């Protein structure tokens, strides 16, 4: 009788949980958007209701040509600078506040908020299925069940689930982008030598025909980056296979040595190549790699001024000198808007090691992408702050991103990365239209590929 009672109680509990999940899933597309954001605007009217996103490209625009800014005629509403920043501090990350206060000439121009991001109907349908089907493993960190080309956890119950939403955020089936990174020398008015690069990304999980994690063969995503300049590093390459249930598989190719070698330790807080120790590996894409070194906690949601609809700063038609400044991306080309974000705190687990014992991530509710991150030192001070802002790729359709900033408060130096000024418009349809295939990411062909 004792075991029967326990079984019945467990069954009722599980049934209640399933019912609650079904009830929550029913909210998608109603009071919640199809990806789980609050559909309604805020009480002040400064954040509007989501009405489907700005999904239609401006008349006459064609993929592959410079992307026009659909909001180019708008005037800024106000500016946040050192003279008034304390007035807005409740809507800024601590690192943003510090940047405004300490970097001469730094400002944030705030514009009308547009909830411009949207996705295909098939993405919404698959997301609704994930609301009741996606699961984490017994360790609470590995994703074991979820459909790809969708948000895994549109109604997240933990910080880990929110981070998976970011890790699998969808930018189409795969892309090719050419750009440069800049590391302005300390104490100089110059912007440094461009680190010219080509990058390709794809994933079995980004395919609309994906049947789940098992169908992805354990692969979270695939990444290939090749330096094309300066001459001293031209041809150097990094190939990464991000995995679901184990550490990333990484191969490095150094053109001067003409050899490919496995790099199992090139992850977590290892310094990124050619970044003068100002970036670590898991800062790429704002965060990447295994979740096992931190405890992840949702501390709430907040309204926050974040980079958004960043068409101007991401135009390849720009001149480099108009975009890249010694400590930041051009303030004249940068756009900030008020959006709701999830706040996730990462604290280092006992016995684990990482350069940053604490991190705060500010994650857009409409796209599940990290827009701002603060990284802290052992004394609890903000050490590094990153920002990136999405814009709509109508041809996908999805919100994507390119240019981003990482500012080191201790050294007072910035890394200004993925700047497309002077390059081609990114190819967000590379996989869908057959210009990018999985065999591109085979380590056996890495040397041949980089010297093609």
The residue ranges of DSSP E strands in 85-183, in sequence order, are 108-110, 135-136, 143-145, 174-182
Measure Cα distances from 50 to 41, 257, 320, 377, 403 in Å.
7, 53, 34, 37, 25
pLDDT score, position 439? 87
**pLDDT tier at 20 (50, 70, 90 boundaries)?**
low
pLDDT score, position 438? 87
Burial pattern 402-441, b for ≥16 Cβ within 10 A else e, equals: bbbbbbbbeeebbbbbbbbbbbebbbbbbbbeeebeeebb
- The string of pLDDT tens digits covering residues 213-230 is 999 999 999 999 999 999
- The string of pLDDT tens digits covering residues 135-157 is 999 999 999 999 999 999 999 99
Q: What is the mean pLDDT of residues 220-241?
A: 96
Q: Do 302 and 38 form a contact (C-beta atoms < 8 A)? A: no
Over 90: is that where the pLDDT of 303 sits? yes
Over 90: is that where the pLDDT of 18 sits? no
- The string of pLDDT tens digits covering residues 342-367 is 999 999 999 999 999 999 999 999 99
**pLDDT tier at 330 (50, 70, 90 boundaries)?**
very high
pLDDT score, position 333? 98
Q: Are strands 143-145 and 382-388 parallel, antiparallel or unpaired?
A: unpaired
pLDDT score, position 450? 74
pLDDT score, position 296? 98
pLDDT score, position 452? 60
Query: pTM for the complete prediction?
Result: 0.94
CA distance 349 to 381: 19
**pLDDT tier at 311 (50, 70, 90 boundaries)?**
very high
pLDDT score, position 240? 96
pLDDT score, position 21? 73
Over 90: is that where the pLDDT of 403 sits? yes
| Torsion sign over Cα 47, 48, 52, 57 | negative
Q: Which of 184-188, 226-230, 377-381 has the lowest mean pLDDT?
A: 184-188
Q: What is the mean pLDDT of residues 394-413?
A: 98
Q: Do 246 and 267 form a contact (C-beta atoms < 8 A)? A: no
CA distance 340 to 39: 11
Over 70: is that where the pLDDT of 5 sits? no
Homologous superfamily, domain 78-450: Lipoprotein localisation LolA/LolB/LppX (2.50.20.10)
Average pLDDT value over all residues in the chain: 94
pLDDT score, position 246? 85
Q: Where are the domains of the chain?
A: 1-30, 78-450
Over 80: is that where the pLDDT of 447 sits? no
């Amino acid at each position: 009788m004792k075991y029967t009672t326990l079984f019945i109680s467990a069954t009722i509990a599980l049934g209640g949980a399933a019912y609650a999940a079904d009830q929550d899933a029913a909210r998608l597309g109603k009071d919640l958007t199809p990806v789980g954001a609050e559909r309604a605007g805020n009480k002040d009217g400064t954040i509007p209701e989501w009405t489907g996103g700005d999904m239609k490209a401006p008349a006459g625009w064609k993929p592959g040509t410079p992307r026009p800014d659909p909001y180019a005629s708008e005037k800024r509403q106000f500016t946040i600078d050192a003279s008034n920043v304390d007035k807005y501090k409740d809507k800024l990350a601590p690192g943003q506040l510090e940047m405004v206060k300490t970097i001469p000439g730094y400002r944030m121009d705030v514009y009308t908020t547009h909830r411009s991001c949207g996705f295909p109907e098939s993405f919404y349908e698959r997301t609704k299925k994930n609301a009741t089907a996606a699961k984490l493993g017994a360790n609470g960190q590995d994703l074991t069940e979820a459909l790809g080309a969708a948000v895994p956890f549109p109604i997240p119950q933990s910080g880990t689930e929110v981070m998976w939403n970011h890790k699998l955020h969808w930018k189409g089936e795969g892309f090719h982008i050419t750009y440069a990174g800049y590391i302005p020398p300390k104490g100089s008015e110059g912007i440094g030598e461009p680190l010219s690069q080509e990058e390709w990304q794809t994933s079995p999980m980004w395919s609309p025909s994906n049947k789940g994690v098992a169908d992805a063969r354990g692969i979270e995503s695939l990444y290939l980056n090749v330096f094309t300049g300066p001459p001293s590093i031209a041809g150097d390459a990094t190939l990464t296979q991000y995995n679901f249930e184990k550490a990333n598989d990484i191969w490095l190719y150094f053109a001067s040595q003409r050899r490919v070698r496995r790099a199992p330790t090139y992850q977590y807080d290892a310094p990124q190549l050619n970044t003068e120790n100002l970036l670590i590996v898991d800062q790429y894409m704002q965060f990447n790699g295994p979740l096992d070194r931190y405890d992840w906690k949702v501390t709430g949601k907040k309204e926050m001024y974040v980079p958004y609809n960043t068409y101007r700063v991401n135009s390849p038609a720009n001149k480099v000198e108009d975009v890249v400044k010694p400590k930041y991306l051009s303030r004249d080309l940068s756009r900030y808007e008020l959006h709701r974000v999830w706040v996730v705190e990462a604290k280092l687990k006992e016995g684990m090691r990482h350069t940053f014992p604490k991190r705060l991530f500010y994650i857009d509710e409409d796209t599940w992408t990290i827009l701002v991150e603060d990284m802290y030192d052992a004394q609890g001070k903000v050490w590094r702050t990153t920002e990136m802002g999405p814009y709509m790729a109508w041809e996908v359709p999805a919100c994507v991103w390119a240019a981003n900033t990482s500012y080191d408060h201790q050294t007072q130096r910035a890394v200004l990365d993925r700047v497309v000024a002077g390059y081609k418009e990114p190819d967000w349809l590379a996989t869908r239209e057959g210009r990018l295939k999985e065999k591109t990411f085979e380590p056996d062909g890495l040397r041949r590929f980089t010297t093609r």
